[in-house]
Amino acid sequence: MGFSTKAIHEGNEPDPTTGAVTVPIYQTSTYAQEGLGKHKGFEYARTQNPTRLALERNIAALEGAKFGYAFASGMAAIDATLRLVHAGDHVIVSDNTYGGTFRLFTRILSNYGIEFSFVDTSDAGNVEAAIKENTRMVFLETPTNPVMIISDLQAVSDVAHARGARVVCDNTFMSPYLQRPMEFGVDIVVHSTTKYLNGHSDGVGGVAVLSDEKDAEWLAFVQNSAGAILSPFDSWLVLRGTKTLAVRMEQHDKSGRAVAAFLEEHPKVEKIYYPGSLSHRQHDLAKRQQKGFGGMVAFDVGTLERARIVLETVRLCTLAESLGGVETLISHPATMTHASVLAETRQRIGITDGLVRVSVGLEDTEDIIADLDQALDGI
């Protein structure tokens, strides 16, 4: 079965009692039982909900995983996944990871005896060098936000597995349509469904998918015990979103290429960060492990003043955090998403005051480019 067929049908069987083609929103907290210990597999809605179950089966199928668990946010999915390691264990993390992930690991989980090393995972050799006796997990994000650093999923998986560590990949930026990390050996894939999977900027959610039975059992136990579950309505929204994931990602990718090409040629743009560009140092690796380059493009106009002009004179693009929705969003990483990152770290990885990030939406490509063009004219 092809990707779109799976996206539309996996988990989405017509409702057995009414024939409804769309999985209903099972807005219930509990389920009537026929007798003591006799029920239809559903007892209490923190533990099981049919709408959430449909979504979990759907995303697991899209990533090529056996099991899926949906959570109240991307961060809740990542937090639950980290419950696979224990006090005394060591975790290696991509050093340019999502700010919320960095905050969760360094400010909260490190208080519970879990040790984190942040390394440049774009070189698998750095991962190998950082592995210790107690390393139990390698947590990757690729491409990273907003400077699009790529990690070699196969090479890192090989290095980690040789030393008995699991590999987790945050696949939020690519979606399973453009990148399926498990095909390169990754053990667990996490997503903020808030972004491309939902795709319409109208819900917050997260998911973790995997195939190892023992780890899956533990994740299900954590999901039920800690209870950070995705609601039936939000599950339904994401389930609706994934049905059109393939066509949406095709268009995000197409417009992303056009916007990047326009920016790369523009005299006011000093540098672009886009894996589809031949100037990207990991362009070949991106081509090898991704089906496309997605809709995220970052560019540097040199100074805060210039960035401010662009950000404040766009008319179609919306100044906002987040990404992956139908509308084009524009943001300033240094003062918005990455404000909590140390200034010297920001400088080292290229998050300068002149950097602008665009999440290319699904408006007509010419309109997006015309808007950026008139905004850049103001410089």
Ligand X SMILES: *Cc1c(COP(=O)(O)O)cnc(C)c1O
Residue 379, classified by CB atoms within 10 Å of its CB into exposed (0-12), middle (13-18) or buried (19+), is middle
Could you list the residues that contact ligand X (CB under 6 A)? 73-75, 98, 100-101, 141, 145, 170, 172-173, 192, 194-195, 204, 206
- Using the minimum distance from each CB to ligand X, give the nearer residue, 204 or 314: 204
Options 79, 95, 152, 170, the catalytic residue: 170
170 is known as an active-site residue: yes
Nearest approach, Cβ of 345 to ligand X (angstroms)? 17
64 vs 100 by CB, closer to ligand X? 100
Smallest gap from residue 324 Cβ to ligand X (A): 8
Q: What are phi and psi of 229, to 5 degrees?
A: -85, 160
Q: Give the contacts of 38 (CB within 8 A, at least 6 positions apart).
A: none
What is the sign of the dihedral through the CA atoms of 70, 73, 78 and 83?
A: negative
Tell me whether residue 138 or residue 309 sits nearer to ligand X (CB atom): 138
Q: How far apart are the first and last CA of the chain?
A: 50
CB atoms within 10 A of CB 349: 16
Least Å distance, CB 286 to ligand X, is 16
Instruction: Using alpha carbons, select from 379, 367, 142 the residue that is nearest to residue 258.
Output: 367
214 is catalytic: no
- As a whole number of angstroms, the distance between CA 346 and CA 294 comes to 23
Residue sitting closest to ligand X (CB): 74
Instruction: Give min distance, CB of 36 to ligand X, in A.
Output: 40
Instruction: Indicate if 195 belongs to the active site.
Output: yes
- Which of 46, 83, 103, 268 is catalytic? The answer is 46
Residue 76 CB, nearest approach to ligand X (Å): 7
Amino acid at 326: V
Task: List the strands of the sheet with 135-141, edge to edge.
Answer: 67-71, 206-210, 188-192, 166-170, 135-141, 90-94, 115-119
Q: Which has the closest alpha carbon to 152: 288, 274, 57?
A: 288
Annotated active-site residue in 52, 57, 79, 98: 98
Nearer to ligand X, 6 or 290 (CB): 290
**Given 195, 257, 306, 346, the catalytic residue:** 195
Instruction: Identify which of 197, 128, 209, 187 has the alpha carbon closest to the alpha carbon of residue 163.
Output: 128
Tell me, yes or no, if 271 is annotated catalytic: no
Residue 14 or 227 having the CB closest to ligand X: 227
Q: Which residues are catalytic?
A: 46, 98, 170, 195
